[in-house]
Structure formats: structure tokens, C-alpha cells
Amino acid sequence: MGGKAHNDTVNWLKKELESTSYYDVTLQPFSNFVQISGAVNSFSIGGQAVNGTLFEYSNSTAGVVTAPLVAVSNFGCEASDYPADLSGNIALISRGSCDFGLKSALAGGAGAVAAVIYNNVAATVSGTLGPPPREEGPYVATVGISQAQGQAYLSQLSSGTELTASLDVLTDIQIITTNNVLATSKCGDKNNQLALGAHTDSVGAGPGINDDGSGTVGILNVAKALAKYNVKNAVTFGFWSGEESGLLGSTYFVESLTAEESLKIRAYLNFDMIASPNYVHQIYDGDGSAYGLTGPDGSDDIEEFFEKYFVRAGVPSNATEFNGRSDYGPFLDANIPAGGTTTGADEVKTEEEQKIWGGVAGEILDQNYHQAGDTVDNLNQEAWLLHARGIAAAVAKYATSWEGFPARTPVSNTTTKRSVSEVRKTVGGVKRSLQLY
């Protein structure tokens, strides 16, 4: 976010939306930490070179650090999981149960000089620690390795074998200003708005054409098509910055709303990765029937709408966990009904899913997720078209009528903890909920 290519995308979106003369279009600036660059200059364990991925917002090692590798208990989500002899050494931590940033911060708080996180599924692991600071401790240089590698090192350590790791990481982290793009229809009832969103930023490792150019172009095409019609209910399209760094743009938008403004948003629809090459057709589990995490009242209606959409299209669909992993998370935290569809990210396709949708079982749903291969050459455009038409169908429904949809009512400031996410502060004291783990 905030790089030249991202800024070009933001400005292009603004121009495209303004050209319709249908929307009030604004840029919403906000500032936060951004990793300008980062590289693993060298990494070895037991004298053997290791191909590790760098987690965004990792601290530099200030040259090569060489120290024993020390296993962390459980998933490394509690300070008690970090042994006393970790100080001055390098932590080996399993992925799972809590966000990457908490693991790195707890390792730093325990005195580790670096951390190695190994995956808990058969795939590569990469992601963000989320912007600093963390109250649990300072981030350390943090790299990811495969499940097989991590389990092999853990087995050696458990048998009493000593392993020495060497790591050289260099990162450049700065505070920058970036922009959300907001477009609200000039016509329609502003007190009963439908909001939709997708994110415009990518990770540094790849151009982000599926993640999330697919969602961005999907809602943009719907926005341009909608400009031919009058609507009864106003529609707001949000193009969020900073999703890959921890849902920063969508969080900033939601937390900038007054209580009165928030209540005017009847529902929010999110579209993140809708052209995955090894796709599934999934709907966010708004009623909690599949995964037990429900959305605010009305989220079940949205799920039911998309279920019926796929039935009409003659295409099977299933539910995906409503865990706040994408930009709908801040809307859930603000008690705004939410939903949407996706074709999947780094989840591994099961044999059952392969029988339903084809593709390759045992591989992740987007084999180019957060990689250089996330380009226009590696999309499933039929899946994209199906989901883009679903976006249009949802806008046609809710921009016309909220009949039968639950009314928004004020709630207390007491929120229910929906998942294992941790709430913390970022630049300017803005709180957010980060669920990248």
C-alpha cells in the first residue's frame, strides 16, 4: 500500500468512478506503518541453507545473528509457551490459533533474537505481523518455513539434537499515508445504504491480481453498470487500502463513522479473491450453521440470498468460516450485517471438494496466493464471472428494497469476542482487530 503502483490503482479507480457522474467520489486518507522493502539475505539451520519467507513488519537482525534454535510449546499464543532459555536464541513456533504478530511479539518479549514459524498444513506460509507496536513485546525478525521442515526440526530438537540457526534480515519500515476510495450513489436513500468493498493493495511478493484485483474489478464493473439506473437505497462502494497489512483501510473507515452514520449502513458485502484457479464457490457463514461464528442479525439473510443465487445458477456452493479474515471483519465488530462470496485463498482443496468443483485435491485453492504468479494469466475467469454476476444480483436486490431485512438498532459498546483475534492499537490510537494467522 502507498507504493507507486498502488497509488496508480487508487487514482485510476477514482477517475473511472468519477467518469460515470453517478457517484460522490472521495479519497479517504489515513496513515500507518508500511514495510517499504524487506529481504532475507541469508538463512540456514544446522548448516544447511533454508528457503524462508519473510513476514511483513519483521524487525531487521542488524546483520547475521547465529544462535540455537529453541522449540516453543503449543502454538506460541501464551507467554508461558516460551521457555526461559529462549533469551538470546531463535524461537521455533507452529502456526495456528493466534495471529503471527502475537507470536513474534511474545518471542521478542521472551528475549528471542528471531523467530521461525512453520506451517500447520502442507503449503508455504507467509503473511503479516500487523503494524507495530505490540504491548506483548517488540517484533523480532520472523520467517516462515513449511510444515515438513518445521516438524523435522522439532523432531530433532525433541530427541536432544542441538540445532544452530543463522539469519540475516533487512527491512525498511516507515509511516506513510495511503487512501481508501469511496463512491456513494447520488440517488437513493442515504439512511438505508448498501455498502460493498474489496481491497486495492497487494503483498510485496506479488501483483495481487486475484488477491484482490478480482474483487476490485468485480465491484467496479457493477458500480459502472449500476450508473444506468436509479436506486431506491443508496449504494456505497469502498475500495480499501492496507488489507494485507491488517485490514487497515476498512477498519479506518468503520471507526471513522459516527454512531448515526454507522446505523445508516444496513449491510456490507465483501469480495476478496473471486477468481482462484483451483476454486471453490463459497459463501460467508452468516448464520453460523457450518462453523459456529455468526454475524450480526441480517448476516444470515445475506448468506441465504447467495445460496439461492448459486442454486439459480445451477452451481454447487458451500459455506466458509466467518472469522473476520478479510475486510468484512471491522464491519462485524461494529455490529453491521455482512456477507459475501469467495473462491478461496490458501486453504487446501479436499478430495470431496475436488469431486464437486474439479481442480486439484491436496493443493491450495490459489496456488499463486501471495506469490509472483498472481497475475492475469493465472485466474479462473469463469469463476470470476459467476461471482461478479452474484455481486450484481445482490446490488439489484438490496438497492431496490430492504423488505424483510432486520432493521439496524443501536447497541452497547460491549462487544462479543467472535474469534481468537487480539485487539490492539496502531498509529493514532486507532484500535483494530487483526485476524491474520
Question: Does the annotation mark 243 as catalytic?
Answer: yes
What 3-state class would DSSP assign to 250? Answer: helix
Cis-peptide, bond into residue 212, ω within 30° of zero = yes
H/E segment holding residue 402: none
Round to whole Å and give the CA distance between 280 and 318: 8
The residue annotated as part of the active site, out of 243, 244, 303, 347, is 243
Spacing of C-alpha 36 from chain mean position: 19
At position 318, the amino acid (one-letter code) is N
Q: Which H or E element spans position 181? A: strand 164-185
Please, which residues have CB within 8 angstroms of residue 358's CB and are 6 or more apart in sequence? Answer: none
Say if CB 432 and CB 247 are below 8 A apart: yes
Measuring CA to CA, how many Å separate 435 from each of 129, 248, 263, 323, 397?
10, 12, 24, 8, 30
CA-CA distance, 60 to 176, in Å (whole number)?
Answer: 19
What are the beta bridge partners of residue 43? 167
The residues that are catalytic are: 243
